Copies of this chain bind each other. A is one copy, B any other.
Amino acid sequence: MLTFHKTSNFYESGYNEAIGEKAFLQVKQECDSGEIGYYTLPTTSLNIVKELEQYTKTNKSLIEAKNIVVIGIGGSSLGAKAIDSLLCHKRDNGKRIIFFENSDPIDIRTKLHDLVKNNTAIILISKSGGTIETISTFKTIVSHLCIDFNSIDASRVVAITDPDSILSKFAKEYGIKEFNMPSNVGGRFSVLSAVGIVPLFLAGYDTKALLQGADEFIQSFFNRSQDHILQKAYYHFANKDSKPINIIFSYSNSLENLSKWFVQLWGESLGKIDKNGNSVGLTPIGLTGSVDQHSFLQLIIEGPKDKTVTFINIDDFEEDIQIPELSLKHIEKTDYINGNSFNTLINAQCDATMQSLIDSGVPSDKISLSVASEQNAGSIIAYFEVLTSLVGAMLEVNTYDQPGVELGKNILVKKFQS
């Protein structure tokens, strides 16, 4: 379960119902027309789970692999990584997902080091099939593990790509298992498509519960049971010039990659030239508590009042640890914390920091996950996706493209081809 702690400064600042309703209708229309596909992934992706259940009955090498290598970047890795980071401490199946994202030689070398073929599944993710980091890394792993596509090795590989892409043609050539990204789902909204479902399924997560959590949230939004999200979207829109920086302050290391996923979603979706030719956008920042109370909080409290903060916490960590009843000579003044649990401490720190921000006039709210679970992961993903779509609709931008990144790609290709 998610609990939304709505505070007055975020939710009651002159909500404009006309703008809110217009955005709601646009989002509903995007969904109903099928123009944008992520709204229906929680139901359509159940077929992917079924297909995986069937396929892995006969193809044991995939499901028995202890190392699940994911080669992908941006929207092709951040979502699965966020969910894996949140939940991996609850798995005890000895599997690990290894994300090859960056073209960093040290990172690649380190991760290659203990890979062996007969224990590895490879999931290659690229919409176009031509992402340079992804294909370069794939070639390196193929070479390192001596993979022969004309042999049984091909059954260790899964390709996730657009239908008819060059990667799709490659997969068909060698009988490699292929899943497609729906054409109406962009990379950063694709975590609940095969992009996230395949690696998470192979790692042993309950992907049905993940989809169910997202489905329930989206249904409840369209059933008008989550109208607080319209108010929050409106606040971000109305204060885009005075509060252009939006912070996610997550109180657990396990949520750090959820923040990174959010940063892409928010930054890349809303940072656009709008229909009037103006540069608009909101700048996302991910922080981790309590650590970043000691690095960034000073700036939020005393610096320019150009920020909003959404706290995320986990009410019950389930695996807790107690602060011992230990009194250290001369340090007795810290004894007030003895006998409490770290679960209690970190959540108290979250609340104290939020209170200090509210007292300092910084718009703040909090989303609590009852526990770290697939269901809650699905819900919070759906929440941020819908919030992003609503703000995009209000800003009158194309929330779903990213034309600005092409320039650098073209410069790069010219460097190597000249």
Contacts and interface: CB of A to CB of B under 8 A. Distances in A.
Contacts of A317: 104-106
Given A281-B302, A290-B102, A405-B297, A321 B140 contact: yes
Nearest to A354: B408
A130 interface: yes
B254 A356 contact: no
A389 interface: no
Contacts of A342: 103-105, 108, 136, 140
A103 B345 contact: yes
Contacts of A48: none
A112 B342 CA distance: 14
Nearest to A407: B356
Interface stretch (A11-19, A268-276, A373-381): A268-276
Contacts of A319: 105-106, 109
Identify whether the interface residues of A are mostly helix, strand, loop, or mixed. helix
Given A106-B319, A412-B349, A298 B169 contact: no
Contact of A296 (B139, B268, B322): B268
A135 to B, nearest CB: 5
B320 A253 contact: no
Copies of this polypeptide in the complex: 2
Interface in A86-129: 89, 101-110, 112, 129
B407 A301 contact: yes
A212 interface: no
Most buried by B among A109, A188, A254, A345: A345
Contacts of A135: 328, 331, 334, 337
A75 interface: yes
A102 B253 contact: yes
Interface residues of A, number: 119
B302 A403 contact: yes
A413 B74 CA distance: 41
Interface stretch (A2-10, A57-65, A219-227, A303-311): A303-311
Interface in A235-274: 244-245, 251-254, 260, 263-264, 267-268, 270-273
B130 A110 contact: no
Contacts of A338: 139
11 contacts: A103-B342, A133-B345, A135-B328, A138-B328, A268-B295, A270-B303, A271-B298, A271-B302, A283-B307, A352-B415, A356-B407
